[in-house]
């Protein structure tokens, strides 16, 4: 098959590209390098079945050209800077909603019948139903990023119904692993790289997360793709447990063999829109036979070891 992977140079995108190539498929990647890195595609670029288009998916011409001859689309590109969303009020609308519409409209015109989309567990907001199933109550949206993902999911569903497109939507928990370049695990590693004696944590640190290794995410998407699913299949992707932020800090510091002083910036959440607890019910994926290979501790430790071995990613200039 011939796949289009948007966000091909990112964390999830580059691993998806590698897996699809390893399975013998042809892959077109699109990336603007806004957060992705050319070096993550070094292996793929040596493969004659891989082609990369460097461009911005906000430009419809780029999207329609990239979709030529494609059988299915992994739409993984997005603005992944959640924390500063309110500083740039249009960015999530443009990068997550309009770009998703561009993809869907190009698929309609090119008669492409399958989309796999990376949504986020953040759309469940301050859910009190834990672990949260896919049909759990959707909270009032508290971040522009989660609002834009929910809007993108709605456009995907409507296009799926209206134009006979098969849609697979994956609501990811906190994805970590090799090639991780953002999120709080990365931020903590970057801080500790600069000054191993102290770590500043935004807010009171009273949050719980459900870290999942990127390879497990790719497994989940490919498994669902190869199973019969409803026209719009929605799947939570997270680990079997959740852990306190302080536990993850302990894993990081023990992996680095350091004992920094931990400073919390103040009471309350790290920023407006930061979910207090992410813990997903992934029964739907388990029924298809998916289980994460790494638990949260192993996933975080793998990330820390990778970043320690690739310190250039932690430099401020990176």
Please report, as ranges, the residues that interact with ligand NAD according to CB under 6 A.
7, 9-13, 30-36, 56-58, 76-78, 80, 95, 99, 118, 120, 172, 174-175, 181-183
| Residue 51 CA: distances (Å) to CA of 56, 312, 313 | 16, 26, 25
Query: Closest approach of Cβ 88 to ligand NAD, in Å?
Result: 13
Query: Closest approach of Cβ 267 to ligand NAD, in Å?
Result: 25
Q: And the tokens for 145? A: 């990023």
d(CA 228, CA 20): 19
Output 30 or 199, the one with its CB closest to ligand NAD: 30
Output 103 or 160, the one with its CB closest to ligand NAD: 103
Compute CA 146 distance to the chain's CA centroid, rounded to the nearest angstrom.
12
Output 27 or 99, the one with its CB closest to ligand NAD: 99
Output 102 or 260, the one with its CB closest to ligand NAD: 102
Query: Closest approach of Cβ 96 to ligand NAD, in Å?
Result: 7
Query: Closest approach of Cβ 10 to ligand NAD, in Å?
Result: 2
Q: For residue 252, which of 309, 297, 316, 315 has the smallest C-alpha distance?
A: 297
Query: Closest approach of Cβ 237 to ligand NAD, in Å?
Result: 9
Query: Closest approach of Cβ 229 to ligand NAD, in Å?
Result: 19
Q: How far apart are the first and last CA of the chain?
A: 35
Element (H, E) at 184: helix 184-194
- Kindly tell me the sign of the dihedral angle through the C-alpha atoms of 67, 71, 75, 76: negative
d(CA 242, CA 203): 19
Query: Closest approach of Cβ 217 to ligand NAD, in Å?
Result: 8
Q: Which residues contact 240 (CB under 8 A, 6 or more apart)?
A: 282, 291, 292, 295
Output 184 or 260, the one with its CB closest to ligand NAD: 184
Instruction: For residue 23, count CB atoms less than 10 angstroms from its CB and return exposed for 0-12, middle for 13-18, buried for 19 or more.
Output: exposed
CB atoms within 10 A of CB 70: 21
Output 101 or 196, the one with its CB closest to ligand NAD: 101
Torsion of CA 181, 73, 131, 209, to 10 degrees: 0
Query: Closest approach of Cβ 63 to ligand NAD, in Å?
Result: 9
Output 174 or 239, the one with its CB closest to ligand NAD: 174
Angle between helices 245-256 and 296-309 (to 10 degrees): 40
Output 31 or 297, the one with its CB closest to ligand NAD: 31
Output 183 or 260, the one with its CB closest to ligand NAD: 183
Query: Closest approach of Cβ 223 to ligand NAD, in Å?
Result: 17
d(CA 8, CA 85): 23
**Half-sphere exposure for 102 (CA within 13 Å, toward CB):** 23
């Amino acid at each position: 098959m011939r796949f289009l992977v948007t966000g091909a140079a990112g964390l999830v995108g580059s691993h998806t590209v590698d897996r699809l190539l390893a399975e013998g498929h042809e892959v077109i990647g699109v990336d603007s390098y806004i957060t992705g890195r050319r070096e993550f595609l070094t292996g793929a670029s040596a493969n004659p079945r891989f082609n990369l288009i460097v461009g911005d998916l906000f430009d419809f011409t780029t999207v329609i050209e990239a979709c030529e001859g494609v059988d299915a689309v992994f739409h993984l590109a997005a603005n992944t800077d959640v924390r500063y969303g309110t500083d740039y009020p249009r960015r999530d609308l443009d990068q997550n909603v309009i770009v998703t519409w561009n993809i869907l409209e190009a698929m309609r015109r090119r008669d492409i019948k399958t989309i796999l989309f990376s949504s986020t567990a953040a759309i469940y907001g301050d859910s009190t139903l834990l672990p949260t199933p896919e049909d759990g109550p959707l909270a009032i949206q508290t971040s522009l990023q989660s609002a834009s993902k929910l809007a993108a999911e709605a456009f995907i569903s409507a296009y799926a119904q209206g134009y006979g497109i098969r849609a697979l939507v994956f609501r990811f928990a906190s994805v970590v692993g090799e090639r991780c370049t953002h999120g709080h695990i990365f931020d903590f590693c970057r801080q500790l790289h600069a000054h191993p004696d102290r770590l500043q944590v935004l807010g009171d640190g009273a949050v719980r997360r459900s870290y999942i290794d990127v390879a497990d995410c790719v497994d989940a998407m490919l498994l669902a793709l190869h199973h019969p699913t409803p026209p719009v299949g929605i799947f939570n992707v997270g680990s079997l447990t959740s852990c306190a932020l302080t536990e993850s800090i302990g894993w990081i510091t023990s992996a680095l063999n350091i004992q920094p002083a931990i400073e919390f910036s103040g009471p309350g959440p790290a920023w407006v829109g930061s979910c207090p607890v992410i813990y997903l019910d992934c029964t739907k994926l388990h029924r298809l036979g998916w289980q994460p290979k790494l638990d949260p501790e192993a996933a975080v430790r793998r990330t820390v070891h990778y970043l320690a071995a690739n310190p250039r990613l932690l430099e401020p200039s990176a």
